[in-house]
Amino acid sequence: MVTVDRRTLLMAGVTATAAGALGMTTTGTAGAAVPVPAIHPTSDWGARPATGTIVVENHKPTYIVVHHAVDPPMNDDFSLARAYYVSRYIQNLHMDKNGWIDSGQQFTNSRGGFVTEGRHRSLEILRGGTQHVQGANVGNHNSEVIGIENEGLYSTVDVPPALWDSLVSLVAYIASQYGIAPEFIKGHRDFNSTECPGQVLYNRLPELRTAVGRVLGVAVTRAEPEWPLLKPGDTGRPVQSAQQFLRNSGFDVPTDGVFGKSTKDAVAALSVQAGLPRDTCTAAKASDETGFLGADVWPLIVPSDRSTAAWRADLTRT
């Protein structure tokens, strides 16, 4: 069976980071005046004190990452009080269940369109525009991302208009503060093997990039293909390719193009062996994501004879 060392795993992240940094310096934003959205600080919603030191990275983030929060279960309460409740709920979950020092995300966006500060000091540091608070919402990439939890589960339903409008405003403000080009607005699944931010919301990320670009006054370059997310039950050419790569890596799986139990077990074993993080946001509570094959697994199994961009383009080709 294949042995995956830590250096191989980290190199996948370093490559993504370097590409993001290059895109920022060559594309950038046009310096358009961007409205400052209303963001309610931790003191407004009664946040618990952090149980550890809030780490402030002495650099700007490379990516803005979109999540869906999944819990608490969404409803039609679009009030500010509900937004505060959601913020408390998520913080309690992250601290009491995950064992984190505070909320994992820097900001939270409610279904009513109210934005709250998540992790302490995130709003203060964002306003400075030169540093960012390290969160705990994207495994192995928290030093380079700033994350937004969006209240609700968006695997099969769309986001409410109020949430969408506030998401555009918040992302545009963050992008303006840090000089992040719209191409570097990502979904959680672009880094970890997770459904997050839900297929419906993920499919709207190109629209989000365009809307943010319009606010910033910049043209949006088409984003490169990302690693596809494969799940148990999926079928087709990408599954068959993944199975062949797994076989080449020493796993006894069929190459029938059907993501069955043996393929799931092989991916799960590889993920554990590589030390890949799991359950890095509340999205994992929507379904068992064990054995999902996504952005952090593909680099461990694809052959080294082609570039990351080439493999991504090939595997997303229909």
SS (H, E, C) 5-40: CHHHHHHHHHHHHHHHHHHHHHCCCCCCCCCCCCEE
pLDDT of res. 23: 36
Domains of the chain, by residue range, sit at 37-214, 232-314
Write the CB contacts of 145 (distance below 8 Å, at least 6 apart in sequence): 61, 62, 63, 64, 65, 135, 137, 138, 186, 191
Provide the CATH number for the domain formed by 37-214 in this structure.
3.40.80.10
Give SS3 for 117.
strand
pLDDT of res. 84: 98
pLDDT in tens, 3-35: 444 333 433 443 343 333 333 333 344 556 899
pLDDT of res. 243: 98
Q: How far apart are CA 296 and CA 189, in angstroms?
A: 9
C-alpha separations of 199 from 28, 157, 164, 165, 229 in Å: 28, 9, 15, 19, 10
pLDDT in tens, 134-157: 999 999 999 999 999 999 999 999
Q: How far apart are CA 171 and CA 260, in angstroms?
A: 38
Helices (H), the chain: 6-26, 42-45, 80-92, 122-128, 161-178, 199-203, 205-216, 237-248, 261-274, 298-301, 308-315
Over its length of 318 residues, how does the chain's per-residue pLDDT go in tens digits?
434 443 334 334 433 433 333 333 333 445 568 999 999 999 999 999 999 999 999 999 999 999 999 889 999 999 999 999 999 999 999 999 999 999 999 999 999 999 999 999 999 999 999 999 999 999 999 999 999 999 999 999 999 999 999 999 999 999 999 999 999 999 999 999 999 999 999 999 999 999 999 999 999 988 889 999 999 999 999 999 999 999 999 999 999 999 999 999 999 999 999 999 876 666 556 678 999 999 999 999 999 999 999 999 999 986
Question: What value does the CA radius of gyration of the chain take, rounded to a whole number of Å?
Answer: 19
The strand pair at 56-57 and 39-40 is best described as unpaired
Reference 72, options 282, 281, 284; nearest CA is: 282
CATH architecture of structural domain 232-314: Orthogonal Bundle (1.10)
Contact present, 139 and 280 (Cβ < 8 Å):
yes
User: What b/e sequence results for 168-191 when a residue is b if at least 16 CB atoms lie within 10 Å of its CB, and e otherwise?
Assistant: bbbbbbbbbbbebbbbbbbbbbbb
Contact present, 172 and 180 (Cβ < 8 Å):
no
